[in-house]
Amino acid sequence: DTVKMLTGLLARQERGVWWTTNANVWGTLAVAAFSKQFETIPVSGQAKASFGDSAQVVKWGEQVAKDPAPVLLPWPGTNMKPASLNISQQGTGAPWVTVQALAAVPLKAPQVAGYSIKKTLTPVEQKVAGQYSRGDVLRVTLDIDAQSDMTQVVVDDPIPAGATILGNGLGRDSAIATQGEKSSGWAWPDFEERRFAGYRAYYGYVMRGKFSVQYTVRLNNAGTFKMPATRVEAMYAPDVFGAAPNAAMVVK
């Protein structure tokens, strides 16, 4: 039963790690103990993986570390015909294999797994009513509802490419445009990042209930911008999160 228990233990990983720091420590010790008892034969030779018409070979030896680089095999075309994944070990030992299917799937509906998040855009300075133009200033409000108390929470919200988050004190910043920013609730960020890619706030502790955060952004480039989802997540419990898709933004 030990092999089955270890397989179940590894199946609880996400992206190669367990959910918490403690779980990673205990999991590493358990895997090391298993390896010492059941994996005494060193791995040698080579392993071959094939998927459809694509194949790659990993040669075991001094030039390859104990944890080799991932082998990436493309999807077998767009004809939707079934294809088999075949993996074989040619040599001594029995190396472990982790199989993942990677695909870029856009988020079309909000996800609630401990947090719900709602994003609102309010014009502060707008050249033409009803549309976004280059040079407009917007107030972004993020309303978040936490279902339980949690430590180490991050709020991450993307902005259009080339836009600037005001309040960083750099050149062309506007202190007047940020005067109306307000936050509510019993959560205060320990640190805020006003990055080129978006706004990010770090909270040491978030109580159960609702809270909101605001920031101000200026649109600098014209175009149609597609952005990833707005996300709030517990850093040491990534299964507790919330995500909301962002519609494409058109700036004239």
Three-point CA angle 194, 214, 125, nearest 5°: 90
Residue-wise pLDDT for 52-107, tens only, equals 888 998 888 765 656 677 889 988 766 667 888 999 999 888 888 888 888 778 89
pLDDT of residue 176: 73
Nearest of 119, 122, 142 to residue 132 by alpha carbon: 122
The pTM (predicted TM-score) of the whole model is 0.66
Beta bridge partners of 141: 120, 214
Q: For the chain, which ranges sit under pLDDT 50?
A: none
pLDDT of residue 60: 84
Q: How far apart are the first and last CA of the chain?
A: 64
The answer to whether 215 and 187 are in contact (CB under 8 A) is no
